[in-house]
Amino acid sequence: MNFDLKTLDLTAAASEKCDLLIVLIAEGFKPGRDALSALVALALKNGDLSAKAGKHLQLYQVPAVAARRVLLLGQGDGTARATRQALQAAGSALKAPQTRRVVVCFGAAEQEGAVSAAVQAVADASYVYTTTKSKAEARSLTRCVVGVREAAGAREEFGSGVALVAGVEFAREWGNRPANHATPSLLADAARSLAKLPRIQCKVMGPAEVGRLKMGAFMAVARGSEEPLRFIELRYNGAAKGMAPVVLVGKGITFDTGGISIKPAPEMDEMKFDMCGAASVLGVFRALGELQPAINVVGLIPACENMPDGRAVKPGDVVTSMSGQTIEILNTDAEGRLVLCDALTYAARFKPSAVVDIATLTGACVIALGGVRSGLFANDDALAAALQAAGDTAQDLCWRMPLDDDYADGLKSNFADMGNVAGRAGGSITAAKFLQKFVGDMPWAHLDIAGTAWKGGAAKGSTGRPVGLLVQYLAEQARSPQARSKVAQPPSAGSKKKPAGQRAARARSGA
């Protein structure tokens, strides 16, 4: 999809040729002297339109308006949140196959975050998964013009919004791919493809190197599968070399059968989404490649399948993690924490300013928070606050959960330093307590995205969350004065690197 930003008032919007012109009407709308304004004012006066977010009135072939269809759309109080809500309600108009070119025009000066929210919402409505369909029904909506009062002032936010769309769609694409089209090796290829972007490097390790690192917990999970494991290491170098990076760790279970502790058949297909944490890390790097913020980021992805097999790890087996701590694997379906714990140990070598792991870790988190907020766990209040705030800004919400040491009691084992499961009670918290045993004193946060990374039912598919939250967090970190003082020189001309603005403006979304 192609996005463009233009300076448009309602007079100018009326002469934009397109299939659908969406006019956002916020509360307190002040009509100008133009024809569209007059229409809106009349519709509001007669009660046929309300400025409530998502209320709308559709018109056809309006005299003196170049667009074929016009959608007058209530924008509520005009905030980012209300703008997104409004455009979500306009989903069916945006998704209609005859809608190829759309213009979204703000009826009044736009609030901070609203332009980015509009870009997100339009991209969201127009996304279609095609990779494994024989008759590729391409997305019909291919061009979107965002009309604002003054394009220059909105340029930066617009560019960030477009970059974020590219990241979210990359994450959705890899989340959605069936497990036989998204093996650990294919995930590694996807990561390598990101190294084409400026300032991004990728390194991939296989079973031999991971064996040498003694990642015994990760290897135990991979044992039951014919697909070789991969350990993916991405780097984005946007700041000086000496600047401590943020490390992101994404759970990359490309299919989770449960292993010998096998899962029941209903809905097991959804366990292809068990690499959505990994996909979100890939999506973040896709966005960083566009945004080029002044920060260093490392992405780590332990990727493998969790399968039952003659060689698979068995309940009761004890393995030694990279940290040296031994683990009694009481339930092979609690595999996410096993691949993550070794990746967290590995993360320490980067001396990170913060480590954030992202994982579809527990069904218990779905029960606790549903699909609205991701679970947030952290051993550091400032990090937790920054992530929660980033989620609020990006409208990609999370909620902090407790980490009292008492929750770790159930992890005690008679045969190893710890078991890999506690009882059913507080399952998302005991999982986080397990991970915490591997982070030492690094500032660490864990996002349990089991409820938010994908939707089931008729709308089954990956959401791309929490790419929005993470990119927002990293952008804030890059803006902090401490980070700015150590900014690296921008890459020299003639290399593969182009200025960020150019790329963002021309960016096409999609993988």
Which residues sit at the interface with Mn ion, rule CB under 5 A? 256, 333, 335
CB of 290 or CB of 448, closer to Zn ion: 448
Q: According to the binding rule CB under 6 A, does residue 421 interact with ligand BES? A: yes
419: its two tokens: 């078991």
DSSP string, 239-288: B-TTSPPEEEEE-EEEEE--TTSPPPSTTGGGGGGGGHHHHHHHHHHHHH
> Which of the following is catalytic: 139, 337, 437, 503?
337
- Which member of 366, 389, 487, 511 binds ligand BES (CB under 6 A)? 366
Helix or strand run (H / E) with residue 381: helix 381-394
| 427 interacts with, out of ligand BES, Zn ion, Mn ion, none, CB within 5 to 8 A per kind | ligand BES
Task: Give the separation between CA 188 and CA 67, rounded to whole angstroms.
Answer: 45
From 53-61, 179-187, 345-353, 354-362, span contacting ligand BES (CB under 6 A): 354-362
Shortest Cβ 84–ligand BES spacing (Å): 25
Helix or strand run (H / E) with residue 459: none
- Which member of 83, 360, 395, 462 binds ligand BES (CB under 6 A)? 360
Query: Is the Cβ–Cβ distance between 249 and 156 less than 8 Å?
Result: no
Query: Is the Cβ–Cβ distance between 232 and 187 less than 8 Å?
Result: yes
Encoded one letter per residue, x for contact with Zn ion by CB under 5 A and - for no contact, window 212-251 reads: ----------------------------------------
Q: What angle do CA 60, 66, 69 make, to 5 degrees?
A: 25
From 2-10, 192-200, 360-368, 394-402, span contacting ligand BES (CB under 6 A): 360-368
DSSP state of 374: E
Q: According to the binding rule CB under 6 A, does residue 220 interact with ligand BES? A: no
Shortest Cβ 47–ligand BES spacing (Å): 45
Shortest Cβ 65–ligand BES spacing (Å): 47
Shortest Cβ 92–ligand BES spacing (Å): 29
Q: Which residues pair with 204 in a beta bridge?
A: 232
Strand residues in 41-186 grouped as ranges (E): 56-60, 69-74, 101-106, 143-148
- What is the sign, positive or negative, of the torsion defined by CA atoms of 144, 145, 147, 150? positive
- Residues 320-357: b if buried by 16+ CB within 10 A, e if exposed: bbbbebbbbbbebbbbbbbbbbbbbbbbbebebbbbbb
Strand residues in 289-338 grouped as ranges (E): 296-306, 317-320, 326-329
Confirm whether 498 is a catalytic residue. Answer: no
Confirm whether 337 is a catalytic residue. Answer: yes
Task: Give the separation between CA 442 and CA 460, rounded to whole angstroms.
Answer: 37
- What is the sign, positive or negative, of the torsion defined by CA atoms of 238, 242, 244, 249? positive
CB of 250 or CB of 352, closer to ligand BES: 250
| 362 interacts with, out of Zn ion, ligand BES, Mn ion, none, CB within 5 to 8 A per kind | ligand BES
Q: According to the binding rule CB under 5 A, does residue 252 interact with Zn ion? A: no
Task: Give the separation between CA 118 and CA 127, rounded to whole angstroms.
Answer: 14
| 472 interacts with, out of ligand BES, Zn ion, Mn ion, none, CB within 5 to 8 A per kind | none
Q: According to the binding rule CB under 5 A, does residue 336 interact with Zn ion? A: yes
Q: According to the binding rule CB under 6 A, does residue 427 interact with ligand BES? A: yes
Encoded one letter per residue, x for contact with ligand BES by CB under 6 A and - for no contact, window 434-463 reads: ----------------x-------------
> Which of the following is catalytic: 214, 263, 314, 455?
263
CB of 85 or CB of 360, closer to ligand BES: 360
305-344: contacts with ligand BES (CB under 6 A) = 331, 333-336
Q: Residues in the site for Zn ion, rule: CB under 5 A?
A: 253, 256, 274, 336
Q: Catalytic positions, please?
A: 263, 337
Residues lying near ligand BES in the complex (CB under 6 A) are found at: 256, 274, 331, 333-336, 360-364, 366, 421, 427, 450
